[in-house]
Structure 1
Amino acid sequence: MTTKQVRIGMVGYKFMGKAHSHAYRDASFFFDTEVEPVMQAICGRNEEGVKQAAQKMGWLSFETDWRKLINRDDIDLIDIVTPNNSHAEIAIAAAEAGKHVYCEKPLAFNLEQSKRMLEAVQKNNVLHMINYNYRFAPAVQFAKKLIESGRLGKIYHIRATYLQDWIMDPNFPLVWRLQKETCGSGSHGDLAAHLIDMARFLVGEFQEVNGILETFIKQRPIVEESSGLSGTASTEKMGDVDVDDASVFIARFENGAIGTFEATRFAAGNRNGNRFEINGEKGSIRWDVENMNHLDIYFHEDEPGLQGFRTINCTEDIHPYASAYWPAAHIIGYEHTFINLIVELLNGINKGCSPSPNFFDGVKNQAVLEAVERSSKTKQWVTIEEMLI
């Protein structure tokens, strides 16, 4: 039974705003938490749009100025689902106002901003978390348990890809995710950031990277309106695409493992192909978000003739988070990764700690992202240590 509440103020209300709102609404339905989220207020610049979003998604009130939202006495936590270039300003102001902060990924526009965000939450002693939701698929959490238990032995490789195709049409408009002044980077910061977080979660810390970034379509029509991953063009006027369309890099880890990573929005036929395979001395695991309840597992110790990948449906009570939902093989979906993360956030608030992934993880992630960018420019290996100095 819940004993206390945390009152949420969310800045932004479109794609991720919908995902976060759903998670707040269902967290206490599926899980017994000591803290109940109260959807106190939502904020957006378009008054009519945010008013409609508040009514549809179940928020008690709305604001059109995030500064006013932060200064409200009936708000305990600020949830940031805005474009990347506004994360730092909002998060730092929220921390200085004594509010806990939950932020979308990547943590910031660049590494310098992410460091300032971490400094702000530490200085003001507020709790913080970042939304790398794919960690919280039960199959991924089970993979983590297998690795930590030693079932795969020493880890040798990770190969990870995040493949999409939603901007392949050259006439697709210049939405904010394709403008450096708003997002900082393209597929690299949007998609590779997830791969980096997953690798840090499952394999360990990056030591050095070597990579390339590429932009295939240099100009696109100016956007009139956009929402989520869609948009419409306003005129025949064109604008420059100044972020990457694709990111490819190799990496060495501090524990001796090596990795290959690819993130692109130009992989035809891939709608949301977030996948990894990890190889160890005793076996391998592989996962695909488009089939997120399944974890493929291979153990080298299996007897000859029966060796091969087996597919585990990670919906049994023994699998992380699975017991809160449905009977075995009554599968869950993308939205449940957000619920599972929110439950960890609520538990952290109850215990007075910042669950991982938090702003520490966000800074480490940003350091790897920028190391790859530097490598692409210098055509050399770049260490993560030199980025964090």
Structure 2
Amino acid sequence: MMKSLKIGLIGTGYMGKAHAIAYRNAMAAFGIPHDQLECEMLAEVDEDLAKQKAREFGFKRATGDWKALVQDPDVDLVDICAPNFLHKEMALAAIAAGKHVYSEKPLALNAEDAKEMTQAAEQAGVKTSVGFNYIKNPTLQFAKELIDRGDIGEPVHFRGVFNEDYLADASLPFSWRLQQEYAGSGALNDLASHLVNLAIHLVAPITSVCADLKVVYKLRPLAGDSQKTGQVENDDQAHMMVRFANGAQGTLEASRIAWGRKNGLSFEITGTKGSLVFDQETLSELSLFMAGDDPQTQGFKRILVGPEHPDYQAFCVSAGHGLGFNDIKAVEVRDLYEGIVNNKPLWPDFRAATQVNIILDKVVESHANNAWVDVEQYDGEHK
């Protein structure tokens, strides 16, 4: 067994901070010794910012050059929390240096890049993990158990929504997130990628899609000069119909301009014996309807997740107290640690994330052709 897993974190924005918190929380929640999961080195765009964030996040060392972090002999795992367009270069450099890689989603800007990254990692024999963290929620782990053991019968329909309002204000300035060169697609990459991963995880592989994309606010003011505008190049809204390998149907939609939705990830799964309903904004609750219940008292049952459910007890011994987003990331880090230190399979890895990228590319193709398109299966199954 490896003596310790030493982390090198690139990027300290929204997700970089979430990852830093998750390392600390995972040690406390799951009893991982502090000398076996070490926050070794942090990289940012310049030395001063890197040193400041290293002090705040509890990393031993800092650098203004991410390439130095990748090459550092004391870094075992490179954790990529940089903008989308940098994922490929950073991951390939880390793999070439023999490092394990933990990357935020989407893995790449397109499927071809994702395939290249996956092939490089597999040839090098390094472990990979991608931050589709919502599936690590104890509530969704329990939902997966209910589906797998047949409590709601065979899934026949999945309806998923992931709406947020972080760009709902048309006066918000133009940024890299609105440019295909740097972000790829818009709400599709940023939000719908989670839905796609979730649908595959809970229902079955997606075999075909029919999609529609829309840019609602085509121009946005430039930062620092509101008299000038930038052309928005990617989607504000994404809608798709999907077909699953098990015969189920589905609809998925995502928006980054949906006023009032803060973390509006929700889904409903209809089965032949019941239904499941989930809302990420109440992430420790699950609604379950069972067709076999007494008709006089039949209805959706509100389940408050507690210590009887997967991974919850590591955080709290009392039901109904609820968990949060950073707790879910801690579960993800626990899985990452065990996968590398104990040589256990990791999921979702680069291969599974590549399947998501394939589907997102097919969504763009479907929209362009105004037609259903078939989806290639890149063997993104659980291992």
Q: TM-score range by the shorter chain?
A: over 0.9
Asked if 1:107 is matched to 2:107, the reply is yes
Name which of 344, 348, 358 aligns with 1:357. Answer: 348
Q: Is the 8 A contact 2:46 2:65 kept in 1?
A: no
Equivalents in 1 of 2:163, 2:250: separation in Å? 17
CA displacement at 1:376 relative to structure 2: 0.3
Asked if 1:9 is matched to 2:14, the reply is no
Match of 2:310 in 1: 320
Aligned ranges 1:24-35 → 2 under 5 Å: 24-33=23-32
Deviations along 1:143-186, one digit per CA (max 9) or x if unpaired, are 00000111111110000000111212221011221111111010
**Cα separation, partners in 2 of 1:79 and 1:387, compared to 1, 3 Å:** closer
Equivalents in 2 of 1:319, 1:266: separation in Å? 34
One-letter amino acid matched to 1:214: K
CA displacement at 1:33 relative to structure 2: 3.7
One-letter amino acid matched to 2:46: N
Match of 1:246 in 2: 237
Name the % identity.
37
**Cα separation, partners in 2 of 1:200 and 1:386, compared to 1, 3 Å:** closer
Aligned ranges 1:197-346 → 2 under 5 Å: 197-223=197-223, 233-315=224-306, 317-326=307-316, 327-346=318-337
Task: For residue 371 of structure 2, give the secondary structure of its aligned residue in structure 1.
Answer: coil
**TM-score (normalised: structure 1):** 0.94
Q: Is the 8 A contact 2:169 2:257 kept in 1?
A: no
Equivalents in 2 of 1:364, 1:216: separation in Å? 28
Task: For residue 36 of structure 2, give the secondary structure of its aligned residue in structure 1.
Answer: strand
CA displacement at 1:347 relative to structure 2: 0.9
Match of 1:226 in 2: none
Equivalents in 1 of 2:345, 2:177: separation in Å? 29
Aligned ranges 1:372-387 → 2 under 5 Å: 372-385=363-376
Task: For residue 385 of structure 1, give the secondary structure of its aligned residue in structure 2.
Answer: coil
Equivalents in 2 of 1:354, 1:61: separation in Å? 30
* Higher mean C-alpha deviation, range 6-15 or range 320-329: 320-329
CA displacement at 1:94 relative to structure 2: 0.4
Q: Is the 8 A contact 1:127 1:353 kept in 2?
A: no
After superposition, the CA RMSD in angstroms is: 1.5
Q: Is the 8 A contact 1:36 1:346 kept in 2?
A: no
Match of 2:85 in 1: 85
One-letter amino acid matched to 2:312: A
Unaligned runs of 5+ in 2: none
Match of 1:140 in 2: 140
Task: For residue 24 of structure 1, give the secondary structure of its aligned residue in structure 2.
Answer: helix
* Higher mean C-alpha deviation, range 73-82 or range 163-172: 163-172
**TM-score (normalised: structure 2):** 0.96
Unaligned runs of 5+ in 1: 224-232
One-letter amino acid matched to 1:188: L
Q: Is the 8 A contact 1:153 1:282 kept in 2?
A: yes
